Structure 1
Amino acid sequence: MKKDSYLFTSTHLGFRTWINSDLEQFSAMNSDPETMKYFEKPLNTEESKAMMERMNKLYEDKGYCYFAVERLETSEFLGMIGLGWKTFEAEFTPCVDIGWRIQKEFWNKGYTTEGAKRCLSYAKELGLKEVLSLASSDNKASIRVMQKIGMEYWLDFDHPDLKKSKHLNPCSLYRISF
């Protein structure tokens, strides 16, 4: 895509809402067991499409979502990085969180950290005062990204939506204030 078609960019990445042509790659990424190791289960095509639709609706409602992310240089689809709205039952919800999921071939190249930093800047531009992030305590890669982007450990908790997936609990919660 052309640079002016993005909502915002970072050095190497373009952030945008979801389009129908994202579904094939997004679904392939979401159905990969290794990529989805720290989620309840891999997603099928219908679940991936529903997620894209939820993200576009969240953007319409709140001005943010887990954005579709592309490499600016090549327009390759990397995955998603952005801001979400969490309402599950916990002492810290409802809250804005930052999260990511990118295709395996782009792991360990700095894109997630770069994209997450840019999304925190976007959160600040929106006037948000705090952003949280959570991951299974075993998900060392995501926790490392949280640390690299300046978030601080807050607490561990058992995610109420993951009671059937005991291997994902406890979750670690990080936060940053602006």
Structure 2
Amino acid sequence: METVKVYVDKILLGVTAALFLIMVAVTTWQVIARYVLSNPSTITEEFIRFSLIWLSMLAASYVVGKRSHIAFTMISDRFKGKNKVGLELFIQSAFLLFSLAIMTYGGGKAISITMSQLSPSLGIPMGYVYLSLPVSGLLITFYSIVNMVQLLKKDKTTPMEKWDSVEYEKAGEVL
């Protein structure tokens, strides 16, 4: 499962990086076309909007996999040992349920409703935009399962805790 996670991480990182670079290039073209050529493109704004939706959803999946998403830790910081692991398992279960019920199932419903609706500029079915919901929902489901398995194994340290401890050690060496 860990090997699959590594490959999924690499693919997601590559896709999101490529999508970001494409968005930068298209935005640059839009600015040049509008202000230098005085001939603004009619499709770039919609393309950027749809790309941003996909980028956000895929990046959200990636950070769930890395367990480095935004979290309110005031309560979880008070727990230690098995209680903390139990709370983390509960949180990952909530991620799993939300991603399956809302993102995957609800996203599938949204796709079926909007597949016949075309976007104004690009003329693509809006279902392709909504496809980002179940795709990222399935990725978050996968990552939640992987995270729960990792929590049940020996190493209970999250990637961010490992990173923080390394940074503190480096800071101590510098001082």
TM-score scaled to structure 1, two decimals? 0.26
Report the structure, 1 or 2, having the larger helix content.
2
Structure of greater relative contact order (alpha carbons < 8 Å, 6+ residues apart): 2
TM-score scaled to structure 2, two decimals? 0.27
* Higher Rg of the two aligned structures: 2
